[in-house]
Amino acid sequence: MVDVEDMLEALNARYEGGDAAAIIDHAVHEAFPGRIAFVSSFGAESAVLLHLMASVDPAVPVLFLDTNKLFGETVRYRSRLQHHLGLEDVRVIGPRKADLEREDPQGTLSMKDPDECCRLRKTEPLTRSLKGFDCWATGRKRHQTTFRKEMEVVEHDGQHYKLNPLASWTRTDIRDYFAAMKLPEHPLVRQGYFSIGCMPCTSKVEDEDDARSGRWAGQAKTECGIHTAKKE
């Protein structure tokens, strides 16, 4: 059995500074064949990662977290982007009805305790859905937050490898790729939403280069928890 640290060292040595499409191709076909899923919010920048993945293999599973608190525009954008890119295996995942009735019967947990709301609606559903996979891929970039600044292309969360093929991409890289590939834009971007999550915790921002400031505005919170929780 390959040691996790050895695997991380080997993959990061291979992937750091590499082309994102080549990274994805190697991860999908050689490093984790049949054991990798892509996790997408179908948010403002999601089309880039999904387009790259679809160009490698459109049948790779894509996990979409529907928290029951998303903008209607996001749900409709998911359908549009799935059709546009030819994604063959988009799996809609979310919190269990019984858990919501027990822990958030009024649907107001996000206002009282956003960390607990994220655990209930995001972290736990994703943990359940990743069973059977060895690796999951994300669209995170180093420029987005201080927490993400030092992340590697491949990480390990305690149970799974986590692939960040766009880690080194800038806002300019994203804009250029959207234009070059003529990717459809999330409808809320033109309204000033440049980082799009759940409706109660997402705000418009003036500066597109500080997009994450629109998430949990006015709070110290910058992450929902799916990228910070260690899975034992």
Phi, psi of 83 (to 5 degrees): -70, -45
224 is catalytic: yes
How many CA atoms are closer than 13 Å to the CA of 169, on its beta-carbon side?
23
Find the catalytic residue in 117, 118, 135, 224: 224
Q: Are 78 and 42 in contact (CB under 8 A)?
A: yes
Burial call 194-220: b when 16+ CB within 10 Å, e when fewer: bbbbbebbbeebeeeeebbbbbbeeee
- Please state, in angstroms and rounded to a whole number, the distance separating the CA atoms of residues 209 and 213: 9
- Four-CA torsion 46, 49, 50, 52, nearest 10 degrees: 150
Q: Please tell me the distance from the alpha carbon of residue 121 to that of residue 170, in angstroms, as a whole number.
A: 29
Q: What's the distance, CA 47 to chain centroid?
A: 11
**Secondary structure tally for the chain: helices H, strands E:** 9, 6
Decide: helix, strand or coil at residue 117: helix
Catalytic residue IDs: 224
